[in-house]
Every structure is written in C-alpha cells, then in structure tokens.
Amino acid sequence: MAFAKVAIVLLIVFLPILSQAQQPILEQTVALNVSRVTLEEAINQLSEQTGLSFSYNPGKVPVDKLVTIQANQSPLRKVLEELTRQSSTEFEFVEGQVILRAAKKGTSKSSNYTFSGYVKDEASGEALIGATVFVEDLKVGTVTNSYGYFSLTLPPGTYQLMFSFVGFANVSESLELGVSSNRVIYLKENSPLLQEIVVEARSPTLLEENLMSKANLKPIDIEQKPALFGEWDAVKSLESQQGVKMHSDGSTYYYVRGGDRDQNLIMIDDAPIYNPSHLLGFFSTIIPDAVNDIDFYRGAMPASLGGRLSSVMDVRTKRGNDKNLSIWGNVGLISTKLGIEGPFKKNKSSYLVSGRLSRIKWIFKESAPDIEKFRFSDLTGKANFTLNDKNRLFLSFYTGSDSYLTSTGGIEWTNNAATIGWNNVISSRLFLNTTVAASAYDYFLSVDPATNTRWNSHISNFNLKANFSYFIDPQQDLSFGASLNGYNFNPGNIASDGTNAGPITSVRNSGEAILFANHDVKINQRWGVNYGLRLSSWTNQGEAFEFIFDDNRNAIDTLYFEQGDRYKNYVRLEPRFTVSHFLQKNTTLKASYSRNVQNIHFISNSISPFTSLEVWLPSSINIKPQLSDQVSLGYQQFFDKVGLTFETEFYYKRMQNQIDYEPHAETLLNPLIESEMRFGETTSYGLETQLRKENGRLKGSVGYTYSRAQRRFKEINNGKAYNAFFDRPNQINMTLNYDLTLRWSLSLNYIYYTGAPFSSPVSFYKVNGLEVPIYGEKNNDRLPDYHRLDVAATLKLNKRTENRFKHELTVSLYNLYNRENIIFENYNKVQDGEEFKVKSNLLDNTQVPTQFYLFGLIPSLSYSFKWL
Amino acid sequence: MTVRSTIALIIAALLLMRCEEQFVAELNVTDLDLIVVDGILTNENLNHRIKVTRPHTELGGTGIPVSGAVLEIYEGDTKKFTVTEFPVGSGEYFTEQMRAVVGEVYTLRMFYGGKVFFAQNVSTPVEPLETIQYSQSAASPDLFRIELNESGRDPNFISHIISWQGTQSCQVNEACGGVIVHYDLKTADANELFKPDKKEFLIPAGAIVVRKKYSVNPSYRSFLRGVLSETEWRGGVFDIQRDNASSNLSAGAIGFFAVSTVVSDTTIIQ
C-alpha cells in the first residue's frame, strides 16, 4: 500500500513533466512518403527517422494493413494520427515510446465530422453531376450525385480539398474541419485554350468508381459530333458507345449487349420515355440543349435502377440558370429550337423552357398537297426551388408529338412525362430524393378523321420513389429506398368519337413494388466493392380478360377479372455485384455480376428500323418476366502522361423468357396475341475495347468490339440456335474532335458494323402467280456491312469569347463517302421507270432482286446561339 | 383517298431520301427436297388442276414438275375422285369433272417417292361480286385501270383474267393479256398497311375481264396471309420477320390444297 502511495505521488509530480516532454517529440517534423506499404514498414521508417521505439502486440494490431501517406515536414503527431486512422488503431506516447493498440469500437467514428454541399457551375448555378471532391491529404474523395450533392465524413483537422469536373477549372480549398459544415462550391468553365492543357494527374472518375459498364455523356460531347441534318441527338450518339448497336440509318432503335430493343430504358428525370423517336426514327426526342447529364449503364447498374434487361439511359435535364436570364436556340434544315432559362429568385429558384418544332411540311407542299399535318415537336420545362438549406423542389415535364395526317387519315404518336422531385438533406450524411413521376405514350393510326376513328395503343405509368443516400464515410456509402409503380396497357384497339364497342384486345393494369439497397465500399486503397439487391413484386390487376391456351396454342378458356382483382404475381430478386481492384496506380481490374428483370414487353415482329404500330404488354399469365444474368470482367488503365484511358470489358449474358413470334404473327387487333408468341433464350458475349481522351485540343475515342448474340427457341428454326438480328460481330467506332483555332473546331465520326443477319431465300415456288420465297435456316444470311464517316466543322462567329451573346455555325457532312448502307433486300419487285414496284400483272415475270438504302451523303448547315 | 394511299403518301414523303436499286443476289441455295402443291377445288363443275412441283432457285424461274405422283381426292369419308397427270411429265394433275360443295371436307392424298402426303380443306360460301370499277388513265385516255377495293365482309380474293386479244390494241408478238389478283383477307397488319406500291397495269378499251371471286376459309386465309407477307406486302417500310408461309400439307410438303366457292362475271372495258 505504501509503495502504491509513493507511486501515485511520483506520478502526480512527474506526469505534467512527462506530458510536456512528449509534446516536443510529437511536434517534431518528419517526412514519410509511402504508398500502399504495410503499417509495420511505415512504423519502421518512422522509428528510424525519430529514434523512437514503437510497442505493439502483432496479434492485435493489424501490422499487415496497407497504408499510404504523403507527409513532408509534417508533425509526427499528425503522421501518427493519419497512420492510425488508416489502420484502425490508436496510439499513445508513454515513457519515450509509442504504444500502438487496436482502436476501440466506435471511437474513431464518433469524433468525425461531415463536410457536405453542392458543386455548381459558377455561370449558371447548374448542378455539376459527377464532379469530384478529393481530399489531398488523405487521398480519398467522392463524387457528386445526380443533384450535385456530396458528403464527406472525416476526422477533425485541416484538409486541402480539390473540386474538379471535366471542362471546368479545378478549385482547391482549405477546410478546417472542427464541426460539420456545408458549402456550395462553384466551378468555372475553362476558357477555350489552344495550347495543350495540362493533363490531369488523377485518373478519370469512372476508373475509381466501383462500377463498370457505365458511360457518362455530356451535352457538349454530343454537340461536338457531326449529326444528320445538323440535328444533335442524344440517342443516336449512343452509336459511339461500346456494346451498343444501332438498328440502321433512320432509326432510334438500339441493341445493347445482345439484348432486344425493348430492353433499354430511357428516363428523363426519372420518368420513362417509351418511344424516343421523331419522324419514324430519323431523330430522337432527346436533344442535348436541355440536358445536363446522361449516365448510360449497359451492365451492372445500381440497384435503384432497373426494369429493363440491357441498359438504362438516365437523362438529367438542366435545372435552369439561377443567376441570369439566358436564351439559346438553333436553326437547322429540319427544325428550330429555342430555350429560355433564368432565375425566379437569384440563387434560389430557376426555370427552364425549351422547345423544338419541325419545319419540313413546306418540302412536300408541292409534291404532296393533300398532307395537312407533317410535323414533330418537343417541349421541355423545369422549375427548381431552393426552399432552404436542406430542401429543394423541382418540377419537370416533357411532351413530344409527331403528326403526319391528311384529310383521310394518318399516323400520330405522343410521349408525355412529368416529374415532381424533392431533395431533402435529412442530415449532412443522409440525403433523400423523392420523386413522383408519370409517363404516357400513345400511338394512333387515324382511319377516319371525320369521326375521329383511330387505332390506338397506349402505355402509361405512375411512379413514386424514395431514394436515400447515406454517406457513411469517404470509403463507403449506402443507398436504399422503395418504389411503387402503376401501369396501364392498351395493346391496340379501335376507338372513335361515336359509340365504341368493348376492346378487342384486353386492356391491362399492373402494379409493381420495389425495394432496393446498394452498398459501395472502398475496402482499402486497392479493393472496392459495390453490391446491391433489388426486390420487385409485379402484380396484374383487373379489369381484364386473359386466355388459357393448350399445348397447341388453342384458346381453351377465357378468364375475366373484375376491376381491382389481383390475379397474377411475380416476385423476383435482382442481385448486383461489382468488385474493383487497383493493380497499380491508375490501373484497375473489375468484375461484376448482375441479374435484371423486365416485366413490360414490346410486342412486334417488325424488322423495320422505323417506329411502327407499337404495342406493349405486361408480364402476366401467358408472358413470364424476362430475366438476364450477366457477368463482366473489365480492365481500365489511365495513362496520365498523355491523358488517355484504355478500357476493355468482356461480358457474357444469358437472357431467359425472350420473346419471338410464330411465322407471320398477327400482332395487331388480335385478342389471342399471346398465342402468336414463342419463348426462348438468348446468349450473348463480347469483348469491348476503347481508347479515350477527354481533355486537350484533340478529344475523342476509338473502340473495337467483337460480340455475338444467339437465340434458341424450341419452336423456331427447328430448335436450333440462330443469330439474333443484332448479332453483328465486328464493330469499330471512332469519334474525334479537334480545336483547330480558338474559333474553328473540327469533328469526325466513323462507325463500322458487320451486316445484320436476315433470312434470305434458298429457293422459290409459285402460288396463284406469286413467286414465294422459301427460307432455310433463320437468319442464314447477312446484309452488307454497315459503315459511315461523318465530318463537321464549327465556326464560332464571335471574335471575343467574353461576349454574352455567342453564336456559331456548323457545317456537317453525314455519310461523307456516300456509302449505300442497305436496310432491306427484296426479291419481289419489277422495274417501273426508275423505281422498283411490286408487279400487278401476275403474268409479268421480270422480278429482280433489289436493295434499299436510306441516306447517301447528306450535307447540312445549322446556326446556334446563346445569350448568357 | 383511302387510308392506305394516305399512309403511302406520308411514308413516301418521309422517305424522300430513300433509294432502291437492283443488285446481284447470291442466294445460299440449298438442295431442298421439297414437294410444292398448288391446287384449288371450287364449286365450278370442271376438271380442277393440282400442280405438283419442286422449288426453283432462279428468281422468275419455273418450278420443276413432279411427275408420276399418284393423287386421290375424297369428298367426305367415302366419295373418291380420280386425278390424272396431263400431259404426262407436266406435274399438272387434273381431277375428273367435279364440283366442290360448301361445307364438305375434301381430302387430298398423294403418293410420291415412297411418301404419303395428305391435306384437308373445306369450302366456305362466297359473297356476291360487286360491280367492277375501272377508270380512265389521266395520262392515256385509251387506257383503263381496274379499281381494286375491299369487298364484302368475309375474306376473299378476286382474280381478274384480262385479255385484249383480237382488239386493235393487240400488236403482233405482244402478250395481250394479264392477270390481276386482289386479296382482301380482312386482316390488320402493319406490313399490309404500309405495303409497297404496285406497278400500274393499264388495259386498253375492248379488253375482256373475267372476274372470279373466291371464298377464303380460315386456314387458307392464314396461308395466303403468309404468302402475301412474303410477296406483295414485302418491301415496304414496316416489313416483318421473313418466314415460310404455312401449309396444310403433311410430310414436309409446302404450298396449299384449297377448297373454295367461286362467283364470276365478265366485263368488256369500254
């Protein structure tokens, strides 16, 4: 006891002395620059430099943990704090030595603070989606979400933060983090420079994300590409993406990694667009002028997205300039566009309205005077309100229509979509986005305008979605939420202003409830994982009628369901998983698996590239949900000295419950339409490679893809596998943009695909005087290869870049070398002057094989302006 | 202007840039050991023809006759009609003089190459022919075009056998005749709606037009729909997947053995 008293007295006397003594030791400056070395090695280096001894229990302290630290003349205390933070340990200075022990649970997190906020464009206040926020001292960072929001939770301290975004000047800010705080960071767009800009030493964001098979498209990238008739087009620009195959000229249909054309979801501000085409498909509805950002997923996508097997194109429209009024527009050969945006209240609320109207009727005024309407249009609007620091509200809508009518009939289609969104920063680490979205698509075939008699197919949906993002720390975030969807389908019925009989084909209603969660973790400097799960429950609901078929597809019973009756339910789990591994600095290897489910199906046996009479049906008694399982393996390398990114991905994908059709299936006005369907599977695989440069005077990408897609249906092609229409093994893409001078820029786009498979006759026979082809194996032949080179030159008409009014002129040459890319081959036509037509006189036996192509060389001129 | 011509006009306007040209087709010709049957029994009291061929591989070619087959036709379960190849080697087989009755089931049985081919069909009634419509060509007032419109409520097709042999318009060494068949299958198909234009066939004044309207039963309609999808409706802008037309023949034979009811009339164009 006496000894203990003495010890206590000595401790009380000497403790302050000891404390004072350790202060100078911990404040001595040291230099430690190590990357991905074990904690033990870092400690050894510190020990050598300082002469201090380190004590620890190797069984409890993770001495093999890899740490990275860049410290030059930094206080030893700070270096130790960082080392222990990275290794989840604690240190104590006792008796001239450093004691290391494993951190107690919760101690490290409880003292952290959160720095959050938004990254915006300084000129317009527009959210910068995907901007990087990087903590230089810790070599950690994050990216802004779809609303420009970020959140970083860090230990207290002083940090140097770097905010960066492609095309904008980096901003470096010092952060004294003692309490949680938030801030809006504004980045300034880079001035046009002719000298090669300094290449960023850091790798592109996509390389660092725990995601793969993803591309990000900026409106400026789309506007720099040559375009058909000068009409810049977001959907058509996908042709330069790896894994994407456009149907042909004049089409907005596209196929991703062996998936059919209905397996691609396009969303504008969370509202789906079912037919993104204008003028049969010559142009898409999505013009870049009103777009802020596009994410395109062709593989494992976040669990919050889904509903289609093959791809998601997530389009975010501009929120509108909340600083100044700005007006922009474009005049081309086909259409005129005009947009206006500005603040309701500066820095608080904004609006944007943009419209496009075609001007092509005059072309046919002389040649086709019977045409009454010949037009397409788009109108996009958005309003944003910053309610307070934590709450923002936005409303957006899109409406687009096509009308091609004479006094006796014609075709029309409309897309309408609207979204109300609410961003709520519940806490600096918890972000909630709630959206209510509605979308409707109608196709009309008018047969008697006097009585408004028309064939109409329809699909609409209403969606409520809550998506939480929890930013746990710089190494991990969690997103989770729920979504409710209601669908209405009319697979095509005749309606008029007069008395209508009941529907020939049953109108269907379905509901869908979805739960999803996604966890993104950077395990350490080398390893990262992103895993998620999506649970969907699909329910069909009356009023509806459905048929029961026997094995020979004969209807043997009709089931009637009263309004509100729930009669079929499918519950499916969709796991997604991506692992990434940094092999070395700027080089990653990634692998992913994903399962996707699709419950809405496009019913068409058309092989036409053009938008025809479109019919959608839900999963139900006779149609099972489509399923896909995809594995991918990717390698990415960023060459920082030259600013080049090399990417390659291999994928294998198996799709079940795929739909094909009975020969010459009747898909219109057929109540027994399901009896015409056949179900089977598609397998696809491919190797995609791309070299990309995103900065500098010369930008662009060059890619090559080898891919295959084969279908197998028990009742088609005698059960043998056959090439899918979109099986086009070789694909080359090249997109280049070069700033020749401050005012002149040049761009080039080249594309090559192997020809599309089709069934060519193997012989003929005659019936009633008609020469009927006989087909052998399905898709036994291929159309000639598709290739095309487009070029464009843009002249900025302003001599002074600081003018508020900016305008430019673009000259495009689409299909420069006038390649005749064949869409169809026919074997049933006879020559009639310079045209080829089907014979009327069956005794005429002069039919010849013909081929059909759409565009030769198409020059165009467009004028664009912006008043900012 | 009909809906179809409206649509055609719009599509033509939309596809102003399109171009169609002849090319040299290299077909993946395979040696298909197929038998093609093309026969139709009607209510006309005559020797009905059934043509049996093998497919040809050249566009515009002629089927290779299948000679020496043994054909039998049964009405119901018992009544049998003899069928004879004439001339021998032609692949054209004719029934004895007979009339197909509405509602009766007719069976074709064919023995060839050690195989038995079998087909059945039944005739449905035909609606009366409507008055023929034709109009003068604006460009050549001496020439006429036959207006082909929908007729009746039931699926049908109308064959027009046209001859101006013996008129002043018929020149020496000229084929002074033609055949037009107008199908009205009462279907709703995008490829039919947007089918390609037909070459105009103008006929001179004095031409004799013999029209025959054929009833089309559901299985025959399905076959004809497939045939038209691959012929008259093929080559428009909303083409559908290519596939073989269905058949009611067994053992892998193709074509169709049809039974139909016919009404006819004759008109002199003037």
Q: Summarize pLDDT for A396-425 with one digit per residue, the tens.
A: 999 999 998 887 778 899 999 999 999 999
Residues ≥6 apart with Cβ < 8 Å to A2: none
> Does the pLDDT at position A188 exceed 50?
yes
A278: phi then psi, degrees, rounded to nearest 5: -120, 150
Note the pLDDT of residue B17: 58
Nearest CA of chain A to the CA of B79: how many Å? Answer: 27
Instruction: Read off the amino acid at residue A239.
Output: E
Asked if A54 and A97 touch (Cβ cutoff 8 Å), the reply is yes
pLDDT at residue A587 in the model: 93
Task: Report yes or no on whether pTM surpasses 0.90.
Answer: no
Instruction: State the DSSP code for A526.
Output: S
List A residues 267-326 in contact with B (Cβ-Cβ < 8 A): 279-280, 282
Confidence at A454, pLDDT banded by 50, 70, 90: confident
Residue B2 to residue A408, Cβ atoms within 8 A? yes
CB contact under 8 A, A835 and B197: yes
Mean pLDDT of B160-179: 90
Q: Assign 3-class secondary structure to chain B.
A: CCHHHHHHHHHHHHCCCCEEEECCCCCCCCCCCCCEEEEEECCCCECCEEEEEECECCCCCCCEECCCCEEEEEECCCEEEEEEECCCCCCEEEECCECCCCCCEEEEEEEECCEEEEEEEECCCCCCCCCCEEEECCCCCCEEEEECCCCCCCCEEEEEEEECCCCCCCCCCCCCEEEEEEEECCCCCHHHHCCCCECCCCEECCCEEEEEEEECCHHHHHHHHHHHHHCCCCCCCCCECCCCCCCCCCCCCEEEEEECCEEEEEEECC
What's the confidence (pLDDT) of residue A333?
82
Averaged pLDDT for residues A470-498: 91
For chain B, the first-to-last Cα distance in angstroms comes to 24
Residues 337-356 of A with CB under 8 A from B: none
Q: Which residues of B touch A840 (CB under 8 A)?
A: 178, 180, 198-201
* Average pLDDT, integer, range B238-242: 91
| Choice between A112 and A751, residue whose per-residue pLDDT is larger | A751
In the predicted structure, residue A20 carries a pLDDT above the cut 90:
no
Count other C-beta atoms under 10 Å from residue B153's C-beta: 8
**CA-based nearest distance A452→chain B, Å:** 13
Identity of the amino acid at A589: L
Q: Do A850 and B235 touch (CB under 8 A)?
A: yes
Residue in B closest to A762 by C-alpha: B29
Residue A633 to chain B, least CA–CA distance (Å): 34
Mean pLDDT of A369-386: 89
pLDDT class of A14 with cuts at 50, 70, 90: very low
For residue A7, what is the DSSP state? H
Looking at the predicted structure, is the pLDDT value of residue A277 above 50? yes
pLDDT digit string, tens, across residues A347-360: 899 999 999 999 87
Residues 6+ apart with CB under 8 A from A5: none
Question: What is the model's pLDDT at position A658?
Answer: 97
**Count of A-B CB contacts under 8 Å:** 272
Check pLDDT > 60 for residue B207.
yes
Specify the pLDDT at position A856: 87
Residue A277, token pair as written in the block: 């085409």
- Token look-up 């609606």 returns B127
Please give the Cα distance from A676 to A343 (Å, whole number): 54
Determine the pLDDT at residue A665: 93
A314: pLDDT strictly greater than 60: yes
CA A421 to chain centre: 19
pLDDT at B3: 53
- State percent of chain A over pLDDT 90: 57
The torsion angles phi and psi of A717, rounded to 5 degrees, stand at 60, 35
Beta carbons within 8 Å of B26's beta carbon, 6+ residues apart: none
With contacts defined as CB-CB under 8 Å, which chain B residues touch A552? none
Tell me which residue in A368, A455, A842 faces B181 most closely, judged by beta carbons. Answer: A842
pLDDT of residue B213: 97
Q: Do A827 and B188 touch (CB under 8 A)?
A: no
Instruction: Check residue B225 and give its pLDDT.
Output: 96
Q: Euclidean distance between the first and final Cα of chain A, in Å?
A: 83
Residues A105-127 pLDDT 10s: 444 444 688 888 999 998 888 88
Digit-coded pLDDT (tens) for A191-220: 655 555 444 445 666 677 888 999 988 888
Q: At A259, is the pLDDT very low, low, confident or very high (cuts 50, 70, 90)? A: very high
Residue of chain B with shortest Cα separation from A612:
B238
State how far the Cα of A635 lies from the Cα of A264, in Å rounded to an integer: 25
Residues of B in contact with A455 (CB under 8 A): 188
Mean pLDDT across the stretch A817-821?
94
Residue A419 CA to residue A398 CA, distance in Å, equals 9
A409 with B3: Cβ contact below 8 A:
yes
Probe site for chain B from A841, A843, A844, A857 (most B CB atoms < 10 A)? A841
Lowest mean pLDDT among A398-407, A592-601, A649-658: A398-407
Nearest to A101, CA basis, from A80, A120, A122: A80
**What confidence category does residue A231 fall into, taking pLDDT thresholds of 50, 70 and 90?**
confident
Spatial neighbors of A644 by CB under 8 A, at least 6 apart, are: A638, A691, A692, A693
Q: Do B38 and A768 touch (CB under 8 A)?
A: yes
Mean of per-residue pLDDT scores for chain A: 88
Burial class (CB in 10 A: 0-12, 13-18, 19+), B236: buried
Highest-scoring range by mean pLDDT, A60-69, A213-222, A285-294, A769-778: A769-778
Q: Higher-confidence residue: A224 or B164?
A: B164
Single-letter residue type at B267? T
Cβ atoms of residues A327 and A355 within 8 Å = no
- State the greatest distance between any 2 C-alpha atoms of chain A, in Å, as a whole number: 128
A253 in contact with B, Cβ within 8 Å: no
Coil vs helix vs strand at A51:
coil
Mutation for A interface: B183, B242, B257, most A CBs within 10 A = B242
For residue B170, count other CB atoms closer than 10 A to its CB: 16
